[in-house]
Amino acid sequence: MLLQTILAALGPIILGLLVGWLSGKYGFIKREYSQAFADFVVKIALPFSLFLAATQASPSVFFNIDYLLALA
């Protein structure tokens, strides 16, 4: 059960890294575009993904005292 959860979380990340590496290795994406893509991911895609995750989480997750203490 725990292994399935870990694989479900890491699977898309590993797949994305593999696709990016292969596309760079075989020249599908030019080296000049890699910085623009990295900027897009860091400045737009990642914050949007975190926002969606926060809006879909139940409020009890955010008001859990252990969670709040870990963030402090």
Residue 65 has pLDDT above 90, yes or no: no
pLDDT digits (tens, 9 = 90+) for 4-63: 888 888 999 999 899 988 988 898 888 888 889 889 999 999 999 889 988 888 888 778
The dihedral formed by the CA atoms of 49, 50, 53 and 54, expressed in degrees to the nearest 10:
-150
Domain segments of the chain as ranges: 2-71
Report which secondary-structure segment, H or E, holds 59: helix 59-62
User: Positive or negative, the Cα torsion across 52, 57, 61, 63?
Assistant: positive
DSSP state of 38: H
pTM of the model: 0.57
User: Do 30 and 37 meet the contact criterion of CB atoms below 8 Å apart?
Assistant: no
